[in-house]
Structure 1
Amino acid sequence: MIPALFTGLCDDAAVFPPGLASLPDAVAAHDGYRKAWYADLVGPLVLAAPALDALGDLLGPREKPLPVAVTLPGGPAGLPAVLDAAKTLPVELRALEIAVPAGLGPAELLDAVSAATAPVYVEIPRDDRGGPLLRALAGTGHRAKFRTGGVRADLYPSEAELAASIQAAVDAGVPFKATAGLHHALRNTDPETGFEQHGFLNLLLAAGDPDHAEAHLAERDGAVVAGFVRDLEDGVRTRFTSFGTCSITDPLSELAALGLLPRGEA
């Protein structure tokens, strides 16, 4: 059984780097996760907007709609087409993840996403637009999305930078998700690339205790992190809603190895 603290924690981003699963394989795997004992751990299948064009023939008749989160890297201009496509497909639109084009101010962004029919996650830029955007999102019901890594070292925010972003989101009362680079439960150094990678449990702790977010993000001791996680209240998930991962089974196995899920079921 998946505890409430981890319910829906892992958004299935299998089609994105480094996983790069084909769309048919990703859909088939996601359907399998939905039937597994750990189904409650799994959030929607994350797809870029253009992938919707290929879903019609791929999905066919279904007993249940496919839960999806759709990314719009080009910004909110693509939103009407995504909403129209979703109406014609056997999908359940769980979230919209929308980037902010240069020159688009907070007020214009909020107006552009007003027609959204699913929760909107606004990708917060790593520049001076971040603070004003978070403040503008406060009280709107919209959410934030933080990028926590990528294919280059410079795409990984430092512990101090990410801690400040989490603190700002919590202060504004804006829930957030994270994506990219969260390949493990704990803070680590990738042995192949040398990249310093954030851990998804470290982010969970930072959301629960933002006053000490930087220290939580830096902690690498599994026993220490697991001990703090056991003390978290489920309400922390109203702050940190989920993270995107190319693998569902890896987080599952690591949570079990830390004693946070039954080992026999992983």
Structure 2
Amino acid sequence: MTSAIHAFMNQIVDYAGLFPPASLTLEPAIHNYASYLSSQDSWMIGQFILPATRLKELENYLSLFHSNFPLHCTVLGKKSEEKWAYLEVLKTDLEQIFSMTDRYGDSLKINTLELPLPAIVPDRGLLEIIRVKTGKLRLHTFCEMTLPMDDHWEQHLHEILDQIGEYHDPKGLFFGFKLRTGGVTANAFPSPFQVATALISCRDRGIPMKFTAGLHHSIRMYRDEVATQMHGFVNVFAAGMLACRHNLDVNDTAQILKDENPVHFNFTDDGLTWRDLAISVPDIERLRKTMFRSYGSCSFDEPREDLRALKIL
């Protein structure tokens, strides 16, 4: 029987070793990923995250992988501010993806594309074109909002999610939302209320989510290196799933995100509990598959070591 922690952590960490603060070169990052796939903790590792502009560099390392041990890769698209320039960049990125999978499809599997949107509320035509073009390559696509976290953030979030929701087909490819949950400076971290707003807004529209940045540790805590509280990945995923299971509002969901006491999060063979709220293993498995996919981290060691230090894993 699958335990709650195994359902919760299954392929949850997408390895982003190329990105800050680790900022590794491709050679050690790809060797790290190959070693993680061969480790006892391989069940927790998801995909390798790579910018589309660097796809061709993989050719030097694909000998590490083969049809029974493929490189599963999430590609990060390039950002552009003007609509037509954005579509030209997208066209180039998709051509690179097609070229690499056409040549190395046995050892290289690309099924997910993450796209930073222009720093505007995009028109419906742009998102429709993205959905059609990425769909032709059978890519699950997650759009990232890059607008500033100012007084208009919530309004812009709802406008963008309304559009994404129009094109997401629950029975087909994911067309979802990617939320940035941190960075290397304090002002890069959204508040618990903002994260809760995104979780509830995506839940209400049935939009799947991925997360990136700042989720190195399991439970929310203050960290000197960024001089602020960092979100915990257990907090984020538990808050999202419990909000779905119990129809929580934004304020109640934010309370789970704010919680810095690991004792309040309990994993058993039957499910996960936070205080007096519970969710079963089957519900965790279902929601991880359909709503809360994974998060990108430049470290795979920190999350699993953190879980072991707390005796969760």
1:110 lines up with 2:153 in the alignment = no
- Structure 1: distance between partners of 2:224 and 2:35: 31
Q: Which moved more, 1:93-102 or 1:120-129?
A: 120-129
1:123 alignment partner in structure 2 = 144
TM superposition shift of 1:136 = 1.7
1:220 alignment partner in structure 2 = 260
Q: Which residue type is aligned with residue 98 of structure 2?
A: K
TM superposition shift of 1:221 = 0.6
TM superposition shift of 1:61 = 7.4
- Structure 2: distance between partners of 1:87 and 1:165: 32
Per-residue CA deviation, residues 48-73 of structure 1 (Å, 9 max, x unaligned), is 12111312233247413311111114
1:39 alignment partner in structure 2 = 42
- Structure 2: distance between partners of 1:143 and 1:50: 22
1:145 alignment partner in structure 2 = 178
CA contact (8 A) 1:10 1:244 kept: yes
Change in CA separation of 1:213 and 1:143 when aligned onto 2, cut-off 3 Å: same
Aligned pair count?
261
The 3-state SS of whatever aligns with 2:265 is helix
1:135 lines up with 2:162 in the alignment = yes
Match of 1:229 among 261, 272, 280: 272
What 5-or-longer segments of structure 1 have no aligned partner? 262-266
CA RMSD of aligned residues (A): 2.1
What 5-or-longer segments of structure 2 have no aligned partner? 81-85, 169-173
TM superposition shift of 1:165 = 1.0
2:83 alignment partner in structure 1 = none
Q: Which residue type is aligned with residue 31 of structure 1?
A: A
1:14 lines up with 2:17 in the alignment = yes
Q: Which moved more, 1:244-253 or 1:232-241?
A: 232-241
Q: Which moved more, 1:206-215 or 1:166-175?
A: 206-215
Q: Which residue type is aligned with residue 35 of structure 2?
A: G
TM superposition shift of 1:79 = 2.7
CA contact (8 A) 1:201 1:229 kept: no
- Structure 2: distance between partners of 1:47 and 1:192: 25
TM superposition shift of 1:260 = 3.1
Q: Which residue type is aligned with residue 97 of structure 1?
A: E
Match of 1:59 among 57, 62, 67: 62
The 3-state SS of whatever aligns with 2:272 is helix
The 3-state SS of whatever aligns with 1:189 is strand
- Structure 2: distance between partners of 1:253 and 1:143: 30
Per-residue CA deviation, residues 20-72 of structure 1 (Å, 9 max, x unaligned), is 11101111111111111211111110111211131223324741331111111
Q: Which moved more, 1:145-154 or 1:251-260?
A: 251-260
CA contact (8 A) 2:184 2:226 kept: no
Per-residue CA deviation, residues 168-193 of structure 1 (Å, 9 max, x unaligned), is 01111101011011120111110233
Q: Which of these two proteins has the greater Rg computed from alpha carbons? A: 2
- Structure 2: distance between partners of 1:166 and 1:111: 25
The 3-state SS of whatever aligns with 2:177 is strand
1:201-216 superposed matches below 5 A: 201-210=234-243, 211=248, 212-216=252-256
TM superposition shift of 1:251 = 1.2
Per-residue CA deviation, residues 63-103 of structure 1 (Å, 9 max, x unaligned), is 13311111114155333322322233332113100011134
> TM (normalized to structure 1)?
0.90
The 3-state SS of whatever aligns with 1:241 is strand
CA contact (8 A) 1:44 1:94 kept: no
- Structure 1: distance between partners of 2:181 and 2:8: 21
> TM (normalized to structure 2)?
0.77
Per-residue CA deviation, residues 120-153 of structure 1 (Å, 9 max, x unaligned), is 0010344333112212222513011000111221
- Structure 2: distance between partners of 1:22 and 1:156: 25
CA contact (8 A) 2:131 2:175 kept: no
Q: Which residue type is aligned with residue 140 of structure 2?
A: P
1:256 alignment partner in structure 2 = 308
CA contact (8 A) 2:239 2:256 kept: yes
